[in-house]
Chain A
Amino acid sequence: MQNSEELKWALLIASLAMLTMAFCMISFVMYYQKRRFEEEKRISDIEKNYNRMLLDTALNSEETERRRIAQDLHDDIGTMLSLTKLSLNQLSKMVGNSGNEKEDQIMKKSQTLVEETILHVRRITRDLVPTTLERFGLMEAIEEFIHKLEEDNNLAITFQANTDDFPRQGQKLELTLYRIMQELVNNAIKHASCSKIDIRLEINDQMIGLKVTDNGVGFDPEKIKENNLAGLGLLGIESRLAIVNGTVQYEKPEKGGASAFAQIPMMPVSDSKPEPLHPFRRERVNI
């Protein structure tokens, strides 16, 4: 009887100990798994931030380089071309007085070429640094961009915004949207064989959306991304968006063509006015 009682207690204690171990094992697995996931998430966040910083730095460098080239073009080549034009004007007067018709023709041709070159340099400088964007804002910059494109191409480009008074955004956000718009429109012109492009800008309390739709041949974004060279433009768009936590969606409308919709969350606009982006100042861009 005594042995039976002892056995009963021994079994009870052993079973309870085993159960406690089982409970501990389950809790440990849950705790350890959770901790490992948190660690993995932390590492992944660090990697993501690092990659974002790298991208940010690369894009900043790109903008700085664009500005430097624009400055050099304007200050050096632009000035030299202006001087050349001045000299040619003086020379033209001298040649005109001599009465040689052939020399006069060559002179006029040279003057025209120099004037055209000056115009080209101005255009390249403006393309490199969108001065209108920083001076007047996104809507005006897009309108200017469209105006220039319509002059050069036989294209119908429409631009709409869901508000007439589009508020100014941070420098980085405006530049990102402008560059994405530029890339999407250039892609449509280069690859889509389209005759009509529609640009739409939408803003609400949380997001700014940019939609570019064309009536061209359309494309499969996944297939294009697989092609290293052709997909660079789309990857560039995604890289720019990654820095500002934005997203992009590509669609193939039923009526044909292609549509890209980029969305960027609103960012608080700093009180200080953005540094004027002007090609004539030698300064480092910090977007």
Chain B
Amino acid sequence: MLEIYSSYCFRNPLPSIAVFITLLPLILIVLRKAYLDPSFKLLLVYLIIKLLVDVIMLCSAANHQNNILFFNLAIPVNYAFLGGMFYFKFDSPSLKKGLVASVIVFFAFTAWDIFNSNSEISDLHNHRAVLFAKTVEGVLIITLILLFFYEIIKSLQIPNLLTFPFFWICSGLLLYYSSFIFIAPVLHYTATWKPSVDMGITETIPTIFEIVCALFFSVGIYHFSAADYAKQ
């Protein structure tokens, strides 16, 4: 059994690294006690869920089983946790309200998209990736990041962004979702048993930036100081 997984990992090193590198920010959050900050607590939950989903997907892929269902189901959950992080960082109450509303609406939208993209929902073997939801998730997350950047520039409360943990989290997410935003809708056609389009190296770009994103998360969490947070 272990041989199947190890041989899959050797055959697909980049996606495997992208799965297990999640452990790095996860461990750092615990070690640096970053979970004291509610945003980082949500990031911890997000990373745990992401790791679980990725491991399940890796096992399914190694056993030649369709794992797209997990990819689809993870989309609204990811947005709920990532968006939730911004809930605690925004100052504006109207933005907070809009964020909560967007999470609820996005859950409904993803559910519709899953059904819309799969006419035979019970046929898990031929289950396909959502057509719009992943792209919309990317657009929403990028919007939240830009709004947060606008707020920090406007408030002028952070003297050095390079030592501000959440700036690294935002930068990592911005790079990852920017790399994925154009590829996401194409996955509906390519991530199937019989793909009609071969994306080649383009498909590895989001994987590379998933790793970069995890590294950015780690740098941000490394800069987190529990003592300084307690003083705030």
Contact = CB atoms under 8 A, between A and B. Distances in A.
A32 B154 CA distance: 11
B16 interface: no
Nearest to A23: B175
Contacts, number: 67
B153 A36 contact: yes
A12 interface: yes
Interface of A: 4, 7-8, 11-12, 14-16, 18-19, 21-23, 25-26, 29-30, 32-34, 36-37, 40
B174 A25 contact: yes
A29 B205 contact: no
A36 B197 contact: no
Query: What secondary structure prevails in chain A residues at the interface with B?
Result: helix
B174 A7 contact: no
B205 A7 contact: no
Contacts of A23: 175
B166 to A, nearest CB: 12
Given A15-B179, A19-B175, A19-B209, A25 B186 contact: no
A207 to B, nearest CB: 28
Interface string B145-166: 0100100110010110110000
Interface residues of B, number: 27
B22 to A, nearest CB: 21
A137 to B, nearest CB: 43
Contact of A21 (B167, B178, B186): B178
A33 B182 contact: no
Contacts of B186: 7, 11
A7 B178 contact: no
A29 B228 CA distance: 24
Contacts of B12: none
Given A8-B202, A15-B179, 6 more contacts: A15-B182, A19-B175, A19-B178, A22-B174, A29-B149, A30-B161
A8 B200 CA distance: 7
A36 B182 contact: no
A25 B199 contact: no
Contacts of A37: 156, 159
B182 A14 contact: yes
Given A4-B197, A19-B178, A25-B149, A11 B161 contact: no
A18 B178 contact: yes
A32 B158 CA distance: 12
B198 interface: yes
Most central of B146, B178, B181, B197 by chain A CB within 10 Å:
B178
Nearest to B209: A19
